[in-house]
Structure formats: C-alpha cells, structure tokens
Amino acid sequence: MSQTTDAIGGKDAPVALTTAPGSSAYTIHRDGETLVCTVGSTILTYRLSAVDDLRSWLLEQNDWVALGGADENKPAVPGTVEAFGRDESNPVGGWYGLRKGYRGRFGVYLPPLLEHLDLVELEHGARNNRVRAR
C-alpha cells in the first residue's frame, strides 16, 4: 500500500462515488491489496496497485486520455484507460480486474476514485469523458 491508497476506507468506510457522467452510483473500499467495487448487487474487484499504476501511466501520457470503459468480453479501444487496465505491458502484465467475467470496466470505475483522491482531473460529460493526471 502507499500513502495514497491508505486514504481509501475499508469495508466499514467505503468511498461513495459516481461514474464520470454521473449516471451510476457505486462504492469502493480497500480489502488488503484489493479494491472492492460494489455497483448495486454486482461486485467487481481490482488490484489495489491500480491506483498508483494508473496515476503513473497518466503522468507519462502528459495529456487527456479517453476512459474507454468496456466489459471484459469486449475489446478496449487502444490508448484508453480501459486498454491500460488490461494491457500486457502494464506493471502487472495484464488485467487489474481480479474476478473472472468482471475484470473489465476499469475505465469506468477507477478514474472517479483517482479524482476523489485528488490525483486526476476528470471530465463529467454525458459521453466520451477523459482524464488527466494532476
């Protein structure tokens, strides 16, 4: 864990967030080295290291990057946050999502958390939102 990820609450103190367009509410909490994302009755899990790794990657991009959210079984648009979250060249060598069948949507649920942690700027339009590192 890092100083940044220490700020993410545990199961008893989840972070309440909304997707970039504001159309869906969800919570994220930390459970050891895992981020647990609860969207209604659906639970997605991601590696905790995704927070620091995504911010580092966004700093390298040095510009706005499209979110590009996609389900696991759909291809990610190259160069998007979603593509980074599953790319074999990222720091974990592939998926940050941990739950088979629910490993996608990285570009939907991680950027609002980074915004909450004041690590990024995030657009909040109806579609085609982008993010950049602070």
Query: Contact 77/66 with Cβ under 8 angstroms?
Result: yes
- Residue 2 has a pLDDT of 72
Question: Domain limits at 49?
Answer: 3-133
Q: Identify the pLDDT of residue 3.
A: 73
Give the CA distances from residue 34 to residues 10, 42, 46, 65, in Å, rounded to whole numbers and listed in that order: 10, 16, 6, 25
Nearest-angstrom CA–CA distance, 23 and 19 = 6
Show the low-confidence residues of the chain (pLDDT under 50). none
Pairing label, strands 34-39, 65-66: unpaired
Task: Please state the domain count of the chain.
Answer: 1
Contact by Cβ (8 Å): 76, 70: yes
Residue 30 is encoded by which pair of tokens?
Answer: 């930390």
Question: For residue 1, what pLDDT is reported?
Answer: 58
Residue 103's pLDDT is 96
Residue whose pair of structure tokens reads 């504001």 in the numeric block:
22
**What are the Cα distances from residue 12, in Å, to 48, 52, 70, 88?**
17, 23, 29, 34
